[in-house]
Structure 1
Amino acid sequence: MDGAMGTMIQNRKLGEADFRGARFADWGQDLKGNNDLLVLSQPEIIGEIYTAYLEAGADIIETNTFNSTAVSQLDYGTQGLVRELNLAGARIARQAADAMTALTP
């Protein structure tokens, strides 16, 4: 099973601009620390982390959606994105798993 997603994200030393990406560049609130939002603003980073866990031998990976609830996202004003966050997190995990399965059936 995979490990600490938050730690893997913190190791990237992402700044406010990284959390915003192009889509949220003009968002009215700070977004740094909203790790779940990275599935929308930096999906390639999340995919790389999923892939790293799979390459390390994980047979099960979790989605990066632990705080993708309306209550948690309210802190960032992104509560309206909850469905999209959950779908994107699952899609990226599925893509990583499918890619690994193709390499190691």
Structure 2
Amino acid sequence: MLDAVVLTREERLALLEPQLARRILVLDGAMGTMIQTYGLAEGDYRGDRFADWPRDLKGHNDLLTLTQPQIIRAIHAAYLEAGADIIETNSFNSTAVALADYGMADMVYELNHAAARLAREAADEFEARDPDTPR
């Protein structure tokens, strides 16, 4: 992993605002649609950590942040390679209410933190290649 400089929210906004004034910024696309292209099975969602989880996990796309982080990173990278300036985290359903369906309501922080870390790592990698274009 690259040694990234950790910027505050205010510092990142200070980099973003001039970009917004100059041009239209491109957001990434649908994470779920990209995940579907991998044709994942139940075991892929479970990984080792959740192999014995008492509920079905197929379709729990946010869980892939923990069980298949390489896939989520690859999706972020694909969007950045395609020209996205801003990528979203893989955390659409990482709320206590949504996670309760899987018996994972207590994992809200872990999933959101891991999703943010993966997105930030991908953005930092691309930003290192082109420091004049903050991501």
TM-score bracket, normalised by the shorter chain, equals over 0.9
TM-score (normalised: structure 2)? 0.76
Q: Which runs of 5+ in 2 are unaligned?
A: 1-26
**Is it true that 1:34 corresponds to 2:66 in the alignment?**
no
Q: Which runs of 4+ in 1 moved over 2 A?
A: none
| Whole-angstrom CA distance in 2 between matches of 1:85 and 1:16 | 19
| Whole-angstrom CA distance in 2 between matches of 1:22 and 1:42 | 10
Max radius of gyration: which structure? 2
Aligned pairs for 1:33-72 (under 5 A) are: 33-72=59-98
CA RMSD of aligned residues (A): 0.6
| Whole-angstrom CA distance in 1 between matches of 2:102 and 2:54 | 9
| Whole-angstrom CA distance in 2 between matches of 1:21 and 1:59 | 31
Aligned pairs for 1:1-105 (under 5 A) are: 1-105=27-131
Q: Which runs of 5+ in 1 are unaligned?
A: none
Cα distance, 1:79 vs structure 2? 1.0
**Identity in percent:** 66
Write 1 or 2 for the structure with the bigger share of helix.
Answer: 1
After superposition, the C-alpha distances for 1:12-43 in whole angstroms (9 at most, x for unaligned) are 11000000011111111110000001101111
TM-score (normalised: structure 1)? 0.97
After superposition, the C-alpha distances for 1:42-85 in whole angstroms (9 at most, x for unaligned) are 11100000010001000000000010001001111111111000
Q: Which has the higher contact order (CA 8 A, sep 6+)?
A: 1
